[in-house]
Amino acid sequence: MSQDAGAGRFAPSPSGDLHLGNLRTALLAWLFARSTGRRFLMRVEDLDRVRPGAEERQLADLADLGLDWDGPVVRQSTRLPRYGAALDELTAAGLTYECFCTRREIQQAASAPHGPDGHYPGTCRRLTASQREEKRALGRVPAVRLRADRTEYTVEDVLHGRYTGAVDDVVLRRGDGIPAYNLAVVVDDAAQGVDQVVRGDDLLSSAPRQAYLAGLLGLPVPVYAHVPLALNSEGKRLAKRDGAVTLADQRALGHTAEEVRTALAASLHIVPAGTHASVDELLAAFTPAELPRTPWVFAPT
């Protein structure tokens, strides 16, 4: 498959085992990419918390479900120079500023009456050079934020249509020097030729920020498909505490990887419940327009 074909991707964080909601999204990302002739890439987003052995177990679970990917696994921790170059480009264009706010100060500012839906209100945006030096003298280590020139941006989503969301002065580099998620994901998707992003709809609100940032960097904006989450019986996001929610848990209950895969496919209305289907059969039956638009409530058995 040529590089010109574009690509989709799955990008887990190696902080623990993947639960069924994660695996369901991975299956969808694979189906979207393969059904459109795109490459499917695997990227490990390991800039934050990493649990030893988690990456290996995650990749093994995905392979056991029958998902394959093109090329080697890419890890964000090996790509720091790319993020630094993008940040330097934005800084040279006057599009960044240092932020000395603590997490508590940001939370208090966002909850104030003027705080727009919890977004950063630009507290440090107009600090003078002397004010910045005063902050440093107090031991404050700054993060770097984007100097956004708009408050909202519109993206196109396969499942949600036109979506307009808030844009604010997002963090580009944290106070500890680590590149922030919004910068890293934009840089990586463009560098890897990812033009299709399939992920949980809890991240829909971040798409306008990322598309806006891509535009500032002169990078293409991918096609988005934000898919419904898996929830527990209380209507909250599925988590490890909700019972037998990992592939290992399901195996311990006597369910094979194939059975788990087809159960996930049934929850997506690709095949009837109880059907056994290979990944090729799922691919042949996959119709994005027929995907459910509401969350899947998982009840452990």
**Is 99 annotated as ligand-binding?**
yes
The answer to whether residue 240 is catalytic is yes
Which residue in the list 51, 136, 240, 276 is annotated as catalytic?
Answer: 240
Q: Is 224 annotated as a binding residue?
A: no
**Residue 10 among known ligand-binding residues:** yes
The two structure tokens encoding residue 158? 């396969």
Does the annotation place 12 within a ligand binding site? yes
Cβ-based neighbours of 9, under 8 Å, separated by 6 or more: 29, 33, 40, 41, 42, 43, 189, 192, 194, 197
Determine whether the annotation assigns residue 9 to a binding site: yes
- What token pair was written down for 234? 């209380």
Contacts of residue 87, Cβ cutoff 8 Å, sequence gap at least 6: 96, 144, 172, 173, 179, 183
Tell me whether residue 199 is annotated as binding: yes
Contact 116, 165 (CB under 8 A): no
Which two three-digit tokens encode residue 92?
């040279």
Give the separation between CA 82 and CA 47, rounded to whole angstroms.
13
- The DSSP bridge partners found for residue 144 are 98, 173
| Residue 124 among known ligand-binding residues | yes
Give the pairing of strands 171-173 and 143-146: antiparallel
Query: What token pair was written down for 12?
Result: 């887990």
Which amino acid would we find at residue 242?
D
- Number of Cα atoms under 13 Å in the Cβ half of residue 30: 22
Q: Which of 204, 209, 202 is nearest to 171 (CA)?
A: 209
Whether residue 233 is annotated as binding a ligand: the answer is: no
Residue 126 known to bind ligand: no
Residues in contact with 72: Cβ distance below 8 Å, sequence separation at least 6, in sequence order = none
What residues are annotated to the active site? Answer: 240
Residues within the annotated binding site?
A: 9-13, 45, 99, 101, 120, 124, 181, 199, 240
Residues within the annotated binding site for L-glutamate?
A: 9-13, 45, 181, 199
Residues within the annotated binding site for ATP?
A: 240
Residues within the annotated binding site for Zn(2+)?
A: 99, 101, 120, 124
